[in-house]
Every structure is written in structure tokens, then in C-alpha cells.
Structure 1
Amino acid sequence: MSPSSTRTQYPDTPDGKYFVVRGRLWRKSNPALDQATREKLVKELMSARRAVRHAQNDAENITDARRRVNDTKVALGERGPVWWSDGEPDLNRHLVKNSPYASWFAELDKTRHDEN
């Protein structure tokens, strides 16, 4: 999938803080991270997710793998303290229809349906 098709499938909010999947807001990574740091963290995240999958029935390993996933997501800015400084609250995992982005998303959704 190309970046442009990903962008179309999962639109970014106008302020760039979130992307929307199935009507839910998901916090984006901190755009202030340099490329090398971002790549290192994404590789660690993928490794940690694989570790979760492979740990299956081993409680200690799955706990450690999930901690690694969380720690990496915090380092990326997707969890934990927000990376923006405008004082706006974190709406991660909120339904877009119940957020300040509701009218933007409704218009975007309408435009998408008109194109089809």
C-alpha cells in the first residue's frame, strides 16, 4: 500500500494530531522526532509486537512484550503525555463523531461518498 492510499484510507485530522480508523481517533507519532529515531522506534515496535504474538501462553514473556510495546508507543508519542503544546486534551481512541473533529469528518465522509 502506498503512503497516499494509506492517507486516503486513514485520514489525518487537519491539525495532524490524529488519524481516523473506523470512526475512531488514533494519536499520531510525534512529528518532531528525527527520521533515524523514528525508524529505530518503529523497528522496536514491530519486534515487540512479534514478541507478543509469539509469547502466547507464557505470562511472563507476554507481560514483558506488552511493556515493550507500550514503552515504544510512549517514546513515539502515540501514548503518554501529548506531544503538542496548545493545551488541547488528548482524544486518543475517542469516537470522532463525539469530538471537536465531528463536522470536519462528516464533511470528509460526505465528500468520499460523493466520489464513489
Structure 2
Amino acid sequence: MKDLAGTTDDERFFLHSGRRWRRTDPSLPDDVRARLMSHLGRGRSGVRTSAKGDDGAALPRARRTVQLAKEGLGERGTPWWEQSQAERTARWTAALEELDALHPKRPDSAIRKRPGDA
């Protein structure tokens, strides 16, 4: 069977391994997209590691992180092409606010340095 990755009727979806996936909202500013992708990566990593561990609260939190990031990116929830620009902006703003509350940034002084780091 021919691999159809990347081909669809429109720009709203892409195909991967024969499955159709919703594309990220193209109106996202680059900095917003980067922050949401960072949260998505952190959430996916958390799902993998917490599934192996004993922390019962970690897995639901990691899954919530993935869900919020995907909603912010426009990949889940109301399709981005059905929303006005104001609704799209509200969607990613709300997702980032909740994600930032779930995962507050640590001040530089709280980040442990390795021996030899300046």
C-alpha cells in the first residue's frame, strides 16, 4: 500500500500511517506554538514515566497536560476553522494559563547546576 503521509483534501488534516489527524492551528504565533509544544512534550514524557511509577496523581496530571496543550494547539476540541479569531485567541490563552499554573516556571536560582557549569 502506498504511504499517504502528508496528503489530504485540505489543509485541516494530515495523514500518518493511514490515520487522519487534525493539524495545528496555523494562526498561532510562533512563541505561543513553542510554549504549547513544550508543554505537550513535558506532558507526553510525564505520561511515559508516571505509567511506570507509583505516583497515582502523576498520570492524570500528565494526561491533563497533554489534553490542554492539544486543545491550545487546536488539535482537539472545537475545530479551529470553525472559530473566530477571538475564539481561537481565547482558546490558546486559556490553555496556556492553565498549563502555566500546572507547571510553574522555576526561577533560575532554583535550577540545580551540575559541577563545572558556570
TM-score interval w.r.t. the shorter chain? 0.5 to 0.7
Q: CA deviation at 1:12?
A: 4.0
Distance 1:83 1:40 in 2: 18
Runs of 4+ in structure 1 over 6 Å off: none
Which residue in the other structure is 1:81 paired with?
78
Which residue in the other structure is 2:64 paired with?
67
Question: Residue 59 of structure 1 aligns to a residue in which SS?
Answer: coil
Which residue in the other structure is 1:24 paired with?
19
| One-letter amino acid of the counterpart of residue 85, structure 1 | E
Which deviations, in whole Å up to 9, do the C-alpha atoms of 1:6-56 show, x marking residues without a partner? Answer: xx9731424211110121100011001011100111011001111111112
Structure 1: runs of 5+ lacking an equivalent: 1-7, 87-116
Question: Residue 26 of structure 1 aligns to a residue in which SS?
Answer: strand
Distance 1:12 1:43 in 2: 26
The residue correspondences of 1:1-116 to structure 2 (distance < 5 A) are 10-56=5-51, 57=53, 58-85=55-82
| One-letter amino acid of the counterpart of residue 61, structure 2 | D
> Please, which moves more after superposition, 9-18 or 75-84?
9-18
Aligned residue-pair number: 79
| One-letter amino acid of the counterpart of residue 46, structure 1 | G
Structure 2: runs of 5+ lacking an equivalent: 84-118
TM-score (norm 1): 0.62
Question: Residue 74 of structure 1 aligns to a residue in which SS?
Answer: helix
Q: Which protein is bigger by CA-based radius of gyration?
A: 2
Using the aligned pairs only, state the percent identity. 35
Q: CA deviation at 1:71?
A: 0.6
Distance 1:81 1:39 in 2: 21
